[in-house]
Amino acid sequence: MKNHKFSPIEFRREIRTSKMLRRDESGELAETEVPLEFRFDPLTGHSCRIVQFTLERIIRPDLDELEKRSRELTCPFCSPLVEQITPKFPPELVPEGIIRIGKSFTFPNNGPYDVYGAVVVISDEHFINLNEFTIKTVNDALMSAQTHIRRVEKADSRARYHFIAWNYMPPSGSSLVHPHLQSNAGYFPTTYQQQILEASQRYREAKGTNYWSDLLAQEKQAGERYIGKTGGVEWLTGFMPKGRLSDVIAVFPGKASVTELTEDDLCDFSTGMIKVFGYLDELNLPAFNMATYSGFDSNNFWTHARITPRAFLLYSPIETSDQFYYQIMHDENICIMPPEVACERLKPRFLG
């Protein structure tokens, strides 16, 4: 698609077919061509594949049984244990030892993934269904994670790379049902963070414009993947998803880093998150991963978040991961819900 009102972004797709002899309803073999779509990320060049899948085969898992099993175990995030056994931040970082905002409770990660790692227990409720989260609950947790990152930024200027991440429920990789998220900061970027920062810089140098600004302008005009906005936060589905069921992306125009987000920004983001949660619950999807991405210069990069639905393998009679050799061994995502379909399902929730 070419449009010279702004620097054009190429959304490259290649359609191929796989031929086979399939059996029809009578059991007879008939030649069939199965379409495959290959997509290429316009920023990084990464590729993914869109394959056919019937969404009606998504079955709601028995979360009641999961909750029951989780309550039979000792939960370290439930009160009073969370106050008794969790570590505290050193006084030079957080003088009060922990960060409390609303019902969120933030402390150092016992097994940190970076130099500065924190766990944010989102609520004193042991289990919260996706359709039971409130804007305030999500907002308080995000503010706590942001507070941790800001404290790190003030105490150690070398820890320039950071992000907030959330694994909700076991299919996403969460080891506990009790809702919690994490913030991490350190001296080295993740592989993907480095790739998008460098690619955004190259785009700026080549075209003289901000990729994220151009992306929003083009997606709004095309309308295929642009969902809408909550306050100052813009929402769309990603042309090249990182998950099996398409990603939802929230962009914060003009802000380079999560640390720059205002209380209103975080509230607008939380408002949109609740809308996404409703969409996931409607599709019987029990889990998600969320991560924020930050940079340093808003001329080159706009901070954004990506929400990726997760589930056990949807057509398997056993609890099978939705990640397999394509993702793990080849860094190639297989997506079974086109982003354009996800966008159409989400749009009504963002109207008004």
Tokens 């913030």 correspond to 183
Question: Mind listing the pLDDT tens digit for each residue in 293-323?
Answer: 999 999 999 999 999 999 887 667 777 888 8
H/E element, 155: helix 135-155
214 plus 97 within the same structural domain = yes
At 50 the pLDDT is 96
Q: What is the mean pLDDT of each run of 10 residues along the chain (352 residues)?
A: 61 95 92 94 96 76 85 92 96 97 97 97 96 98 98 97 96 94 98 98 96 97 97 98 95 98 98 98 93 98 97 75 92 95 96 78
In a domain, 4, yes or no: no
In angstroms, the CA 53 to CA 315 distance is 10
Residue 7 within any structural domain of the chain: no
Domain assignment present for residue 144? The answer is yes
User: Does any domain span residue 180?
Assistant: yes
| Residues 107, 239 share a domain | yes
154 and 23 in a common domain: no
Residues counted in the chain: 352
Tell me how far apart the alpha carbons of residues 101 and 280 are, in angstroms, rounded to a whole number.
Answer: 27
Q: The domain spanning residue 263 has which CATH number?
A: 3.30.428.10
pLDDT 10s digits, 23-78: 988 999 999 999 999 999 999 999 999 997 777 767 777 888 888 889 888 999 99
Together in a domain, 245 and 105: yes
Dihedral angle, C-alpha 254, 258, 262, 264, nearest 10 °: 90
Asked if 23 and 158 sit in the same domain, the reply is: no
- 42, 12 contact by CB (below 8 A): yes
Residue 106 backbone dihedrals phi, psi, to 5 degrees = -115, 130
Q: What DSSP line would sit under 16-73, residue for residue?
A: EEEEEEEE-TTS-EEEEEEEEEEEE-TTT--EEEE----GGG-----HHHHHHHHHTS
**Is residue 82 one of the residues assigned to a domain?**
yes
Q: What is the pLDDT of residue 63?
A: 84
Decide if 311 is inside a domain: yes
Do 31 and 156 fall into the same domain? no
Indicate if 301 and 200 belong to the same structural domain.
Answer: yes
Residues 6+ apart with CB under 8 A from 158: 187
Q: Give residue 60's pLDDT.
A: 77
Q: Do the domain assignments include residue 287?
A: yes
Strand arrangement, sheet containing 47-50: 12-23, 29-40, 47-50, 333-335
Beta carbons of 284 and 60 less than 8 angstroms apart: yes
With respect to residue 55, please indicate whether it lies within any of the assigned structural domains. no
- 66 and 116 share a domain? yes
Is the domain of 45 the same as that of 184? no
Number of independent structural domains in the chain: 2
200 and 225 share one domain: yes
Helix axes 191-207, 211-222, angle to 10 degrees: 80
Residue among 115, 119, 348 nearest 235 (CA): 348
- The Cα–Cα gap between 280 and 272 comes to 13
Pair 16, 69 in one domain = no
pLDDT given for residue 2 in this prediction: 43
Sign for the pseudo-dihedral over CA of 285, 47, 213, 150: positive
Same domain, 141 and 274: yes
The DSSP result for 95-132, as a single string, is TTSSEEETTEEEEE-SS-SSSEEEEEE--S-S---GGG
Residue 150 belongs to what domain range? Answer: 62-331+338-350
pLDDT for the residue 5: 55
